[in-house]
Structure 1
Amino acid sequence: MILNRTGVLFVALAFAWGSAFSAIEIGLTTLPPILFAALRFDIAAVLFAGLVVVRELEWRPETKTDWLAIAVSGGLLVGGHFAFLFLGQSYVSSAVSAIVLSLTPIVTPPLALLLLPNQRLRAPAVAGLLVGLVGIVVIAVPGGSLDGQILGVALLFIAATVFALGSVLFERLEETLPTISVQAWAMVVGAGLLHGLSAFHPGERLATVALPSATLSALLYLGVVSTAGGFLAYFVLLERVGATELSLVNYATPVIAALVGWALLGEAITATTVLGFALIVTGFGLCKLEALWRVGGPLVGYGPQRPLLAGDDDNGSSIVVDGNAYLRDRELGLSESDHSTRVAPHGD
Structure 2
Amino acid sequence: MRHRTSFVFVLLAAVWGTAFVATDVGLDALPPALFAAVRFDAAAALLFGLALLRGDRLRPASRAEWLPVLTGGALCIGAHHALLFSGQVHVDGAVAAVLLGLIPVVTPALTRLTDAAERLSPIGAAGVLLGFAGVVVIADPDPANLLSSNFLGVGLVLASAVAFALGAVLTHDSRSDLPFVSTQAWMMLVGAALLHATSAALPRESFAAAEWTPSAVAALLYLAVVAGAGGFVLYFWLLDRVGPVEVSLLEYVIPVFAAVAGWGLRGTALDATTVAGFAVIFVGFLLVKRADVRRALGRYGRVGGDATTPRDAD
Cα distance in structure 1, aligned partners of 2:106 and 2:128: 7
Q: Following TM superposition, by how much is the alpha carbon of 1:298 offset from its aligned partner in structure 2, in angstroms?
A: 5.4
> How far apart, CA to CA, are the structure 1 residues paired with 2:210 and 2:296?
52
Verify the 8 A CA contact 1:124 1:289 in the aligned structure 2. Answer: no
Identity %: 47
Quote the Cα distance in structure 2 between the aligned partners of 1:209 and 1:108: 35
Q: Is the 8 A contact 1:131 1:279 kept in 2?
A: yes
What is the CA-CA distance between 1:46 and the residue it aligns to?
0.8
Amino acid corresponding to residue 115 of structure 2 in structure 1: L
The residue aligned with 2:10 is 11
Question: Partner of 2:59 in structure 1?
Answer: 60
Deviation per residue, 1:312-335 (Å, 9 max, x gap): xxxxxxxxxxxxxxxxxxxxxxxx
Q: What's 1:47 paired with?
A: 46
Q: State the secondary structure of the residue aligned to 1:4.
A: helix
Contact 2:34 2:205 in 1 (8 A): yes
1:174, distance to aligned residue in structure 2 (A): 1.8
**Structure 2 CA distance for partners of 1:270 and 1:109, relative to 1, 3 Å:** same
1:206 & 1:298 partners in 2: Cα distance? 51
- What is the letter of the counterpart of residue 12 of structure 1? L
Alignment of 1:2-151 (within 5 A): 4-141=3-140, 145-151=146-152
| Distance (Å, rounded) in 2 between the aligned partners of 1:43 and 1:217 | 13
Amino acid at match of 1:212: T
Give the CA RMSD over aligned residues: 1.8
- For structure 1, the residue ranges without an aligned partner over 5 or more in a row are 302-335, 337-348
**Which residue is 1:323 aligned to?**
none
Aligned AA (1:73): G
User: CA shift at 1:233, angstroms?
Assistant: 1.0
Counterpart AA for 1:148: S
User: Structure 2: which amino acid aligns with 1:292?
Assistant: V
- AA in 2 matched with 1:195: H
Give 1:276 deviation, angstroms: 0.5
Which residue is equivalent to 1:274?
A: 275
CA drift at 1:31: 0.2
User: Residue 49 of structure 2 aligns to a residue in which SS?
Assistant: helix
2:244: which partner in 1? 243
Q: Secondary structure at the match of 1:182?
A: helix
Task: Give the AA of the match of 1:33.
Answer: P
Corresponding residue number in structure 2 for 1:343: none
Query: How far did 1:181 drift?
Result: 1.3
1:241 deviates by 2.6
Distance 1:242 1:291 in 2: 10
Deviates more, 1:115-124 or 1:234-243: 234-243
Query: Residue type of the partner of 1:211?
Result: W
Partner of 1:187: 188
Q: What is the alpha-carbon distance in structure 1 between the residues aligned to residue 294 and residue 210 of structure 2? A: 54
Whole-angstrom distance in 1 between the partners of 2:42 and 2:300: 42
Q: 2:306: which partner in 1?
A: none
* Whole-angstrom CA distance in 2 between matches of 1:269 and 1:209: 29
* Worse-superposed segment, 43-52 or 235-244: 235-244
Q: CA offset at residue 227 of structure 1?
A: 0.7
CA positional deviation for 1:268: 2.2
Opposite residue 59 of structure 1, the aligned amino acid is: L
The 8 Å contact of residues 66 and 176 in structure 1, kept in 2 or not, is answered as yes
Bigger proportion of residues as helix: 2
Aligned-pair distance for 1:86? 0.5
Deviation at 1:105, TM superposition (A): 1.2
The Cα of 1:209 is off from its aligned counterpart by: 6.4
Residue aligning to 1:308 = none
1:194-222 C-alpha deviation (Å, 9 max, x unpaired): 01110111121345666111111100000
Quote the residue 2:178 is aligned against.
Answer: 177
CA contact (8 A) 2:89 2:153 kept: yes
Alpha-carbon distance between aligned partners in 1 of 2:134 and 2:92, rounded to the nearest angstrom: 16
Distance, in Å, in 1 between the alignment partners of 2:207 and 2:146 is 27
Q: Cα distance, 1:229 vs. partner?
A: 0.8
What residue is the counterpart of 2:308 in the other structure? Answer: none
Q: Whole-Å Cα distance in 2 between the matches of residues 170 and 97 of structure 1?
A: 24
**Equivalences for residues 257-272 of structure 1 within 5 A:** 257-272=258-273
Q: Which amino acid aligns with 1:224?
A: V
Moved more, 80-89 or 133-142: 133-142
Q: Distance in 1 between matches of 2:3 and 2:105?
A: 30
Deviates more, 1:245-254 or 1:22-31: 245-254
Matches of 1:42 and 1:141, distance apart in 2:
36
Q: Deviations 1:127-186 (Å, cap 9, x if unpaired)?
A: 111111111001001677514011111111110111111112113432221222111100
What TM-score, normalized by structure 2, do the two folds share? Answer: 0.90
Name the amino acid aligned to 1:129: V
Distance change (3 Å), C-alpha of 1:45 and 1:127:
same
Indicate conservation of the 8 Å contact 2:105/2:285, yes or no.
yes
Residue aligned with 2:212, SS: coil
Aligned residue identity for 2:291: E
Instruction: Tell me which of the two structures has the higher relative contact order, counting C-alpha pairs closer than 8 angstroms and 6 or more residues apart.
Output: 2
